[in-house]
Structure 1
Amino acid sequence: MANNTYIGYHFKVSPLQPGVEILIAELGYAGFESFVETDEGVIAYIQKDEWNTDILSDIQILDSDEFEISYSFEDIEQVNWNEEWEKNFNPITVDDICTVRAPFHDKPNTLYDIVIEPKMSFGTGHHETTHMMIQYILKNDLKNKSVLDMGCGTGVLAILAEMKGAKPIDAVDYDNWCYLNSIENVERNNCKHITVIEGDASVLKNKTYDIIIANINRNILLNDMAVYASCLNKNGMLLLSGFYNTDIPVIQQECEKHMLKFQEKLERNQWVSLKFLN
């Protein structure tokens, strides 16, 4: 994977927020793998093998009257992802008790200190959806609970779950970069109860969990909801994110179809996270 050629799109976005967040979400649906936010907008990367001339044809925000967006793109050979992230990755603290930082940042004075090398993987805690998922994990009892972190990205949510006493934990992502990065971050944080798995919902066959965390996107969540419901133990908890306020009705309808009961909503800059129980 490290020697693959990528195409980098440099987007200038005005106004920056929520323009950048909406653009990143739509680009993610289109197949872009990694994003680096800049002062002017965002740089989005996609493997050249996955690229086509119509890759932006379904990006609705580009046709929106609410935002001015321009872009250029270029072929990029062997990107130094560490260097890219080090230039743009600042530590974050959630609710004054959990810090997510890189190894080159100073150690904080917080209860939970998660050290990650994000590379290309989604899930640094900066994005609203990851931030809200961290909040859910912090405020719920995970001690000795079995947990699934679906679409684990960097593994940050699985790592925090172990710090909160959860075990065993499966961290699953279909992307090879995320799979390898999660393994590194699990080891970096001295976690002993996390198994990282490369794959999609098909790897969950015959597995069950007390808590399922799925921070992906609306379409994948809707497609895989039946699988999540079948894997959730009695009185289990399902935490969902990766979608907007306007997506709540269709998400909730699909959950209720599988006897999952809505409990709570978190909202952050138009993104939402929902908690369901069975």
Structure 2
Amino acid sequence: MQYLEFKISCKEDFREVLIAELAEVGFDSFLETDQGLDAYIEEGLFDREAYQEVLEKYQEVAHVLVEEGVMAKVNWNEEWEKHYDPIQVGEQVYVRASFHAPKPEIAHEILINPKMSFGTGHHATTFLMLSHQLDLDHQGKRVIDIGSGTGILAIMAHKLGARQVEAFDIDDWCVENGNENFDLNGMSTVRMGLGTVREVAPQGIFDIVLANINKNVLLEEMEVYASLLDRGGFLLLSGFYTHDITDIEQKAAMEGLRLLKQKDKDNWAALILEKQ
């Protein structure tokens, strides 16, 4: 599998916006840089017309400049070591790579060695989802992480005491990386699946469903998420902007889901909904 690489320079205020827009047209991996971002997409999935529409939309206002290329075979962990700093969510969660020093005083330490997977805790949506997870009782619960990326939310569920954790993603890079991260966090019995929620077809009912994807996918799959939840179960959603909350809430209500709590960061939103 060969990846195309796009080194994008832009105004800092538009970095997160471009990541979201490019994710909508198939880009699945991003690396924030001092100049803007590096974006990656599998060659066979690249839609140049859709990509150009995004570029033209922000070309002038964000001062966008792009250098295109094919990603050379590199030591990806070494690349991440250059750019990836540990993060902390409140006083309870510390997310680091194996090359960072541990913080034993923090209750929940998560080890993430990313390859090209999205979800290191740096992006606002991942940060918000972790924050919401801290607000829910996971002890003895059955949890599923849809569109798991690095597996960080599944790992958080495990550390919060979930009885059973399932996870899957549509990208085989994520599956490989997620399984490595599960091993780093004492979850060798959990293996990440490959496919969409309909392709994977999870069996049984879950107490907590996690989905940090994007607005269009969340709306399209909402019915499936609701069907996976037990009454009184919780659905945590992110991957959309604050101005999208109304659309998400309305669709959720149609599936018997009630909004309990919302958080936002850098114009991104994350919700906790309860199955009625």
Question: Equivalent residue for 1:27?
Answer: 22
1:252 aligns with 2:255: no
Partner of 1:261: 258
Structure 1 regions of 5+ residues with no counterpart?
A: none
CA distance, structure 2, for counterparts of residue 114 and residue 241 of structure 1: 20
Are positions 1:230 and 2:227 aligned together? yes
Counterpart residue identity of residue 253, structure 1: Q
Change in Cα spacing, 1:239 to 1:193, as seen in structure 2 (3 Å) is farther
Gaps of 5+ in 2: none
Q: Secondary structure at the match of 2:6?
A: strand
Q: Which deviations, in whole Å up to 9, do the C-alpha atoms of 1:14-47 show, x marking residues without a partner?
A: 1x02x11010011111111211111110011112
In structure 1, the residue matched to 2:240 is 243
- Structure 1 position 133 matched with structure 2 position 126: no
Counterparts of 1:197 and 1:86 in 2: how far apart (Å)?
Answer: 27
- Listed as ranges, the matches of 1:195-234 within 5 Å are 195-202=191-198, 203-234=200-231
Question: Paired residue for 2:3?
Answer: 6
1:115 alignment partner AA: L
More displaced 10-residue stretch of structure 1: 205-214 or 237-246: 205-214
Q: Is the 8 A contact 1:158 1:194 kept in 2?
A: no
Give the deviation of 1:80 after TM superposition.
2.7
Counterpart position of 1:157: 153
How many residue pairs end up in the alignment? 273
Give the Å deviation of 1:196.
1.8
Partner of 2:113: 117
8 Å CA contact 2:25, 2:47 repeated in 1: no
TM-score, normalisation: structure 2: 0.94
Deviation at 1:64, TM superposition (A): 6.5
1:122 match: secondary structure: coil
- Equivalent residue number for residue 182 of structure 2: 186
The residue identity in structure 1 corresponding to 2:79 is E
User: 4+ runs of 1 displaced by more than 6 Å?
Assistant: none
Deviation of residue 5 (structure 1)? 2.6
Q: Could you say if the C-alpha distance between residues 53 and 217 of structure 1 is closer, same or farther in structure 2, counting changes exceeding 3 Å?
A: closer
8 A Cα contact 1:204 1:231, kept in partner: no
Q: CA contact under 8 A between 1:9 and 1:45: conserved in structure 2?
A: yes
CA distance change for structure 1 residues 257 and 61 in 2, over 3 Å: closer, same or farther?
farther
Deviation of residue 76 (structure 1)? 2.3
RMSD of aligned C-alpha atoms?
1.6
Partners of 1:249 and 1:234 in 2: CA distance = 23
Instruction: Work out the CA distance in 1 between the residues paired with 2:267 and 2:4.
Output: 29
Task: Using structure 1 for the length normalisation, give the TM-score.
Answer: 0.94
